[in-house]
Every structure is written in C-alpha cells, then in structure tokens.
Amino acid sequence: MAHELAPLPYPNNALEPHIDAQTMEIHHDRHHKAYVDNLNKAIAGNAALEAKSIDALMKEISSVPDAIKGPVRNNGGGHWNHTFFWRILSGGAGGAPSGKLAEAINSTFGSFEEFKTKFEAAGVGRFGSGWAWLVANGGKLEIVSTANQDNPLMGKSVAGAEGTPVLGVDVWEHAYYLKYQNKRADYLKAFWNVVNWNEVSKNYESASR
C-alpha cells in the first residue's frame, strides 16, 4: 500500500504568530508531499518494502537494498519525521510538561529551563539541515541531533543517534526561513510556544513501557 500524506491536524494558521501560515502550507503541502511521493516511487515494485509501515522502514533501514537505500532513507525519513513533528505541535500550546515527563526532565537535566537551553543548543549546533531530538534510550532521556532527514529510529550506525523520539524539532531552513530568515536560534525559542506537551508526554509514556 502506498504511503499517504495525512492532512495537518489543525489549520495552517493555527501556530501563528510563532510559525506562520505560509510556512506551514509550503512545509506540509510541498515539502512533506514530495517526501511521500518520492518514497512511493523508490519502493514501487518491491512488495516486501511496500508492505512495511513507515515505522518498520525506519527501524529496518539497514536491510533496504543498496540501490534504493538512499532515496528510502532520505524520503522515508522525511515522511516519518514530519508526521511526528505535526503531531507534537498545537495552537494555544506551550507552557511546560507535567507528570512523569516533567519528573524525568528535571531528574536528567536539572530543570526544565536547563533542558530547553540544551535542546536549543542541539538545534543551533546542527550544521546545515537536520533535526534535534529528545529521545528515550534504555529508560533514560537524551538530547541528540541528526543530519538531513535521518532520525534516531534508524540507529547509531546509520543516523549517528538512537532511541525512541519523544520530542523533535525541524531545523531545515524551509521550517523557519520565511519568518526568521537566518535566525535559527529565535525560531527555536519560539518553538516552545507551540509544543503540545500532552502529545509529547504520550510519546514518553509509550517509549517507557
């Protein structure tokens, strides 16, 4: 079955003023759609790969035939990453986490503010295009970053990081350039205003089972 582009779970302008409507439209309708279309082209005719979920493709990327591994890694990663990203954003969100996630963040990083500082540093420090992630790895939280459309599900040997993503932020220029130009740090600070901590907490609890 072909992979499909799901609609955004909110209107394009829902994240205003922190992420503008035009960026969301271009990001979802063009960039994400291109990843889905190109992934489907890459795996077309390979019944075994066509039968896999996007999660399975990411976790088993090393077993993809070399001839198409690059396109599947890049476009499959783009599809998985963006699908994850849209879900952890919401208008009227922000604030701080609560419950078990808050406890884990405070225990690991000392405080929520210290966590935000380190997470922003991971995003700013990612040279070129990529992502910053909070992952659950062996029962512990870690901040990692990956290049391009790689993600921690691909494993350390492929992506240079491993773990189950709990929170992620896109630091490709197409995610912020219309509003923030080259000020990636400003975009990352604004990002906290649209984080849906309820969804992030669900990710953490699922990864902790």
| Torsion sign (Cα): 149, 79, 102, 18 | positive
Query: Quick check: helix, strand or coil at residue 195?
Result: strand
Q: Residue type for 52, please?
A: K
Q: How do the domains of the chain map onto residue ranges? A: 21-87, 99-208
- CATH number (3.30.70.20, 1.20.910.10, 1.10.287.990, 3.30.565.10) of 21-87 reads 1.10.287.990
| pLDDT reported for residue 104 | 97
Going from the C-alpha of 201 to that of each of 26, 31, 191, the distances in angstroms are: 28, 27, 17
Tell me the pLDDT of the chain (209 aa) as tens digits: 689 999 999 999 999 999 999 999 999 999 999 999 999 999 999 999 999 999 999 999 999 999 999 999 999 999 999 999 999 999 999 999 999 999 999 999 999 999 999 999 999 999 999 999 999 998 899 999 999 999 999 999 999 999 999 999 999 999 999 999 999 999 999 999 999 999 999 999 999 87
Do 161 and 152 contact (CB within 8 A), yes or no?
yes
Model confidence, pTM: 0.97
Domain 99-208, second-level architecture:
3-Layer(bab) Sandwich (3.55)
